[in-house]
Amino acid sequence: MTLRRILFPLLLLTAACKVQQPQEAKVPVEEAPAPEPSLIPGRVTLQFDDDLLSLIEEDLSAGSLHTKSPALNGLLEDLGIVRMERLFPDAGEYEARTRAAGLHRFYQVEFADSLPVTKAAVSLQAIPGVLSASPQRKVYPRGGFNDPLFNRQWHLVNSRTPGADINVQTVWDNYTTGSADVIVCVVDECIDADHPDLQGNLWKDRNGHTGFNFARNNFDLSIRPENGDGDIGHGTHVAGTLAAVSNNGIGVAGIAGGDAAA
């Protein structure tokens, strides 16, 4: 009986020790924020004020990252900046215009891709004399055409402001990009028949005429700047909107310009 009385408290004590044994605290691991896919890694655009620019412009123009600004020098070293140069290069004889527009204040800095772009931008923005520090973003085409000015034709395809375009992408994708069976007449000013973005889509009669000039009462569609505002090629603009050859690597895309690469 005595032995049982001794063992029972010991067992309770052992169990209590096991229950009350403190667990190791888990230290939360801070995860690095995922990089924003639209940002170009390793690049930030800076805009300097005139005071800071006067201290650094001469050194940066010579290719040196060590300038007369200790604050900038220290941060460039901490961030591992490997290059800093003007975003808009010296314009030579037109440099005065560049400076008048303030474009000489913009510099592009480059650093390791492993450094988060947003962190670099916030750090650089804190330097006195830095007016702005902006991450560079990737530019995506609005559609599948390779016309170099197509990304400016917001009236055709506009993903940023829905409803501001004519929704032509749906037609291109699901119906047609244009048909040679459809002839559109442009009643406007003269059309430049030699325009490289129109030649493939201009209608011609059996004599090679691309249209008739009712103002001159002949087939002369040449644009004459000497005629003033009444002959500035607005017809070429309208014709391009309708039927500029699309996907030919030239100029703009036409609403019904076809697909030159098809």
**71-84 confidence digits (pLDDT tens):** 999 999 999 999 99
CA dist 108 and 229 (Å) reads 42
Residue keyed to tokens 């290719």: 63
Domain count, the chain: 2
Q: Would you say residue 6 lies in a domain?
A: no
Q: Would you say residue 50 lies in a domain?
A: yes
Q: Would you say residue 13 lies in a domain?
A: no
For residues 118, 122, 127, 129, the Cα torsion angle rounded to the nearest 10 degrees is 80
Mean pLDDT of the chain: 83
Identify the band that residue 41 occupies on the pLDDT scale cut at 50, 70 and 90.
very high
CA dist 189 and 200 (Å) reads 20
Question: Do 128 and 149 share a domain, yes or no?
Answer: no
- Confidence (pTM): 0.47
Question: Do 80 and 158 share a domain, yes or no?
Answer: no
State the CATH number of the domain containing residue 252: 3.40.50.200
Question: Do 86 and 167 share a domain, yes or no?
Answer: no
User: What's the alpha-carbon Rg for the chain, to the nearest Å?
Assistant: 34
Note down the domain range covering 48.
Answer: 39-137
Residue type, position 1, single letter: M
Q: Would you say residue 19 lies in a domain?
A: no
Question: Do 131 and 155 share a domain, yes or no?
Answer: no
State the CATH number of the domain containing residue 128: 3.30.70
Domain end among 93, 110, 137: 137
In DSSP terms, 212 is beta-bridged to: none
Q: Would you say residue 5 lies in a domain?
A: no
Give the pLDDT confidence score for residue 12 in this predicted structure: 36
Question: Do 248 and 154 share a domain, yes or no?
Answer: yes
Question: Do 123 and 166 share a domain, yes or no?
Answer: no
pLDDT in tens, 81-112: 999 999 999 999 999 999 999 999 999 999 99
